[in-house]
Amino acid sequence: MNAAGATDRVCVIGAGASGIAACRSLALRGIPFDCFERGPQVGGLWRYPPPQGRGPGYPSLFANTSKSVMQYPSHPMPEDFPDYPHHAQVARYFDDYTDRYDLRRHIRFDTGVRRVEPVGDSWAVTLDDGTAHRYQAVVVASGGRHGEPVHARFDGEYTGRQLHSVDYAGPEEFAGRTVVVVGLGATAADIATEVSRVAGTTLLAVRTGHYVVPKILEGRPIDRLSPLMRRLTPEQRSPLVSLVIKLVHGDMTDWGLPAPPYRPGRGPLIANSEFLPAIAHGRITPKPVIVSAEGGKVRFGDGEVVDADAIIHCTGYRLAFPFLDESLVRGGDDAPPLYHQAVPPELPGLYFVGLLHSMTALMPLAEAQSEWIGDLLTGTVRLPPRGEMWSRIRAARRRQDRRFHDSSGHLLVDPHEYERLLADERRTHSTRRTHP
């Protein structure tokens, strides 16, 4: 098929957690589609070592949400998996999901997408080999959240070893060294804890505080909520979460960490059962941000200067979709404005799956998004008028600004609310006739 070919097909970009959910939705509805995956396997960031030589995963990566919370609703994880599976187990689970729905025959591996652009009422997709294909719609599931690594900024020039977490391959090279880990997210907590087992000194430079919770509470995963808790809003859950954190860990400032600039439930929770004990044991020393460096010396915000052998930047990523013109999806460091985090109102036929930050796990939401998009493509559900979509985007962003901490831009969603939102969307805008 070439650029002038048939346009009844749909293109899915990426075969990671979001991409295979999109493929499943299309396959179940009999919608013809092609999926392009730049790696040799499904699974995206859960594949380690990464096929491109670098990726967000690392050898010791375990899920920070429990299996019952992170699994696709249509395909439970095996009972013999631990509550928090290792990345290799999650990758195997993706293989099982792909094979159950016979998706591999639709996926072209080791194939990158160079450019996606609208052409009339369809979309032209140019691959890395230069061939062009025409599609009626494009579903972007390529993990734009991990587009470009972001590094901490400070004055001066540091001449020691510097790396971003995307290039972290284990703690061995840091044995006996003085290491500065920058950031306080799930990755920073994991890497700082692991490095501290072998390093001579591990310092954690933190700008913004977050709440840390144990993975297990009273013998069960902490994120396994009761049906009642699932129905509560983040605001309603906040006092209960605050009480649990207070009873288990006290104030974050008691551990030498900055006070979080939001209440529990209004931003990310760091689920890690080893991180705070590592601080208590003196293996990790929290510090303010790095303000400057000279040679191998690093100066922190409290004025202390240390000789550091390495800096590991666990400072996240900037959104990037290199195959899309910036004029199509302007967003900068924030997410582009999307109706229900999936549909750009001005670009019919373009959809995004997985471009959100769930307060728990992505996979159930990716499957819910894919079901809605599948209904839109078959015409069983319609979008509201363009003006209404923009109005609801603006209202949603104002609400997010009021209720959530801004570290995730406008990507952060409460998963239970979001699932209900999409279910209501499919019901309210259904084109099927209803009978009394």
- pLDDT confidence band for 142 (50 / 70 / 90): confident
CB atoms within 10 A of CB 309: 17
In this prediction, residue 267 has a pLDDT band, given cuts at 50, 70 and 90, of confident
Q: Enter the pTM of the model.
A: 0.92
Dihedral Cα 67, 83, 284, 289, nearest 10 deg: 10
pLDDT at 1: 41
3-class DSSP state of 217:
strand
| pLDDT in the model for residue 4 | 44
CA distance 346 to 369: 19
Structure tokens at 324: 């899309």
CA-nearest of 338, 184, 149, 331 to 270 is: 184
Of 36, 48, 228, 65, the closest CA to residue 131 belongs to 36
When the pLDDT of each residue in the chain is averaged and rounded to a whole number, the result is: 91
Q: Is 77 a residue whose pLDDT tops 50?
A: yes
Fold of 165-311: FAD/NAD(P)-binding domain (3.50.50)
What are the backbone dihedrals phi and psi of residue 23, each rounded to the nearest 5 degrees, phi first?
-60, -45
**In what helix (H) or strand (E) does residue 307 lie, and over which residues does it extend?**
strand 305-307
Other beta carbons within 10 angstroms of residue 435's beta carbon come to 4
- Is the CA virtual torsion 9, 15, 19, 23 positive or negative? positive
Residue 332 banded pLDDT, cuts 50, 70, 90 = low
Per CATH, which fold does 10-147+317-428 belong to?
Answer: FAD/NAD(P)-binding domain (3.50.50)
Q: Where are the domains of the chain?
A: 10-147+317-428, 165-311
For the record, the structure tokens of 61 come out as 């990566």
Domain 10-147+317-428 identical in fold to domain 165-311: yes
| Mean pLDDT (whole number) for 113-125 | 95
Q: Which of 36-50, 224-238, 257-271, 420-434 is predicted least confidently? A: 224-238
Closest CA to 397 of 344, 334, 332, 353: 334
pLDDT given at position 236? 86
Least confident piece of the model among 60-74, 106-120, 197-211, 314-328? 314-328
Residue 436, pLDDT > 70, answer: no
What band does 148 get if pLDDT is binned at 50, 70 and 90?
Answer: confident
42: DSSP letter:
S
Indicate whether 379 pLDDT > 60: yes
- Tokens at residue 3, please? 């650029």
What's the confidence (pLDDT) of residue 408?
65
Measured distance CA(405)–CA(395) in Å, rounded: 17
Q: What is the rounded CA–CA span in Å between residue 192 and residue 203?
A: 8
Cα–Cα dist 264/169, whole Å: 32
pLDDT digits (tens, 9 = 90+) for 155-193: 999 999 999 999 999 999 999 999 999 999 999 999 999
